[in-house]
Chains A and B, each alone.
Chain A
Amino acid sequence: MTNHPVLSVHKISMRFGGLNALNKVSLQVFPREIAALIGPNGAGKTTFFNCVTGIYKPSGGYIELNGPDLRPKRINGLKPNLITRSGLARTFQNIRLFENMSVLENVMVGCHCRTTSNFLNAIIQTSSFKKEEQGVIEKSYELLKLVGLQGSANLSAKNLPYAEQRSLEIARALATEPRLLLLDEPAAGMNPQETTKLDQLIMKIRERFNLAVLLIEHDMKLVMRISDKVFVMAQGEKIAEGTPGEIQNNPRVIKAYLGEEVDVVS
């Protein structure tokens, strides 16, 4: 592993009124690493994602994303679309597809920030516009093939089965050409077969695009199978960090998940 993390988060905090949703959380994700963020419900995992992707502005701390020139770039306070442009893409816990657009178009929207033509080119239909458009179609179709949705390319996104909608979200995020992919509960609502397919997909994506993945997940089997590193959060704080093996035996983690051990004998 190189010394430069793709994403490094320094002590970010997020307050909603009196509630400390995040309290000085720091973590680093390195290139080509699959990291998992776990924790009981309400631990602040999704809030953390929303801070990193710019949907919330953190009330304290800062976030750096390593640029292609290996110089870190501060991204907190940037608008979500600019963060996506700097190489960070995400999926959503409650699926947020563009339901009335076709499956292919959903992915094409993902290509948006990597294309340059504007509406005037589209009206005149310049040759560069047509070429770029064709390129976008080809790239999107390629990504659909990767997640196994090429057969449904022209369907409305809302007509896809649940598990395929999740895959489509991943394909759409990949279209933005990220260096770090954030997956918010990608296996939620999937059956074991679908989950197995999903972790193969995640591995394949890492190999193919050389990117790092940070995922929130409640399915511990999946987490233990695929992650190189696990972060554990509880009540807005990071309480542990380590390899899956280390985490499984960490007393603080066990306490956070199962509660305090009570001595019944005395």
Chain B
Amino acid sequence: MKLRIIHSLIITFWFMLLCFPLVVLKIDYLEKSIRFRWINLFLTGLCVFFISLLWRYFLSRRRKYFLRLPEHFFDLHQSRLIRSKPFLFIFSLVFLSLPLILPNYHTSILITAMIYVVLGLGLNIVVGLAGLLDLGYAAFFAIGGYSFALLNHYFGFGFWASLPIAASLACLGGVLLGIPVLRLRGDYLAIVTLGFGEIIRLILENWEAFTKGPSGIPDLPKPGLFGIQLDFYSSTIYLYYLLILCMLAAILVTKRLSYSKTGRAWVALREDEIAAQSMGIDTTKTKLTAFGIGAFWAGIVGAFFASKNSFVDPSSFTFHESAIILSIVVLGGMGSILGVILATMILVLLPEYLRFLESYRMLIFGAIMVIMMVFRPEGLVKSVRQQYDFKNLK
């Protein structure tokens, strides 16, 4: 206890020193003098001291604290409630009827959330399964969005005609990025992908003759429904259902791939590249499929994103975007599908609905990330490999 107090005192002192110029000094421009507000320093110190004390206390009790939770509390994918049919039925019913009950604003937010779920699932293949740290994933999102926008702008392509082209171009982009980085791992790979993301964004920003530069491309159409004219309200609902389909497809494909030869090769590559290669896995092909399939999903939802906003501009595809998507994957638990969905709820919906807290919402967002990584570094849902049944085998 004594040690803890001493430790907190040191932190408090250090914090007060750091905050000194910010909270104490105030330059008065009119009188050309400096005012010292010592009371602020005292209050800051007091707050820091107690927060630090509490933090240390919980950190030391972490084991005990978690033991009181029922075992497998976090293993949501094994939870009987979530797997039970009535629950799933009611859940899907509520989910399906949401846009009919809620105002358009909320439907629109849910659409954004689902776009992020698909993005998370795509990046999950690259980072979570294959273990290739990609910090420029938003580039593929941008390729998808801009493919649709440019095809529409220059050739008058509709949404459905552009969608496969957008997806294939993003997929191609993934493979093209993959080729030069085949030999890289970890930090080096992260840096190169980061650079790739920036290059794509800078091209979009500076090639004004073709991409219209920072002002973006407006007036993009919504997805068509057999030529029926939809008003703004119903087209949002239509988009909501389309994204549900898209999300389900992404979940299904990821799940099937992850428990197939390809998925096993990805995980083997993540676990030990040399051993994987020695067991006959073609690392080149495996990495490129991971990059390609990951980028494919980003391309698809990129087109949806552009169509939803009926506008694209380069500022939607900054590094910040890549970082959020990566946070979704890490917070959810590397390689876990349910984890991606839950993390999207936290990382996308929470900041959206905490808007009344104004600038504090980013602070809360940061705090949640820190607390999660300290108390549960493996993510919300720990990914567990499939169990096989041998009863039918002799």
Whether B265 is near chain A, meaning CB under 8 Å from some CB there, is: yes
Whether B227 is near chain A, meaning CB under 8 Å from some CB there, is: no
Whether B282 is near chain A, meaning CB under 8 Å from some CB there, is: yes
Complex interface: stretch among B100-108, B218-226, B256-264: B256-264
A112-B265, A138-B393 given as contacts; is B277 within 8 A of A98 (CB)?
no
Closest Cβ of chain B: how far from A138's Cβ, in Å? 6
Q: Which of A96, A109, A138 contacts B265 (CB 8 A)?
A: A109
In A70-125, the 8 Å CB interface with B consists of 79-81, 84-85, 89-90, 92, 96-102, 104-105, 108-110, 112-115, 117-119, 122-123, 125
Residues of A within 8 A of B260 (CB): 117, 119, 122, 129, 133
A98-B275, A122-B256 given as contacts; is B283 within 8 A of A81 (CB)?
yes
A80 touches B256 (CB 8 A): no
Closest Cβ of chain A: how far from B290's Cβ, in Å? 10
Closest Cβ of chain B: how far from A142's Cβ, in Å? 8
A137 touches B388 (CB 8 A): yes
Q: For chain B, give the interface size range.
A: 20 to 34
B289 touches A119 (CB 8 A): yes
Residues of B within 8 A of A239 (CB): none
A154 touches B387 (CB 8 A): yes
* Cα separation A173 to B280 with both chains bound (whole Å): 10
Residues of B within 8 A of A109 (CB): 264-265, 268, 276, 279, 281
Chain B residue nearest in CB terms to A176? B280
A101-B271, A123-B253, A141-B393 given as contacts; is B279 within 8 A of A115 (CB)?
no
Chain B residue nearest in CB terms to A173? B279
In B9-62, the 8 Å CB interface with A consists of none
Whether A224 is near chain B, meaning CB under 8 Å from some CB there, is: no
A119-B262, A123-B253, A129-B260 given as contacts; is B388 within 8 A of A110 (CB)?
no
* Cα separation A138 to B393 with both chains bound (whole Å): 7
B385 touches A101 (CB 8 A): yes
Residues of A within 8 A of B276 (CB): 98, 109
User: B273-306 toward A: CB 8 Å interface, digit per residue (1/0)?
Assistant: 0111111111100000100010000000000000
Residues of A within 8 A of B278 (CB): 53, 55, 80-81, 84, 89-90, 92
Residues of A within 8 A of B275 (CB): 92, 96-98
Residues of A within 8 A of B89 (CB): none
Residues of A within 8 A of B271 (CB): 97-101
B264 touches A108 (CB 8 A): yes
Whether A172 is near chain B, meaning CB under 8 Å from some CB there, is: yes
Whether B71 is near chain A, meaning CB under 8 Å from some CB there, is: no
In B234-282, the 8 Å CB interface with A consists of 253, 256-257, 260-265, 267-268, 271-272, 274-282
A96-B272, A104-B388, A119-B289 given as contacts; is B264 within 8 A of A112 (CB)?
yes
Whether B390 is near chain A, meaning CB under 8 Å from some CB there, is: yes
User: A141-180 toward B: CB 8 Å interface, digit per residue (1/0)?
Assistant: 1000000001001101000000000000000110110000
Chain A residue nearest in CB terms to B387? A154
B387 touches A102 (CB 8 A): yes
* Cα separation A84 to B280 with both chains bound (whole Å): 5
| 5 A–B pairs (Cβ distance < 8 Å), ordered by A | A96-B272, A102-B385, A115-B261, A122-B261, A156-B385
- By Cβ-Cβ distance, the 10 closest A-B pairs, closest first, are A113-B280, A122-B260, A98-B271, A96-B275, A84-B280, A119-B262, A80-B277, A109-B268, A154-B387, A102-B385
Using CB atoms and an 8 Å cutoff, list the residues of chain A in contact with chain B. 53, 55, 79-81, 84-85, 89-90, 92, 96-102, 104-105, 108-110, 112-115, 117-119, 122-123, 125, 129, 133, 136-138, 141, 150, 153-154, 156, 172-173, 175-176
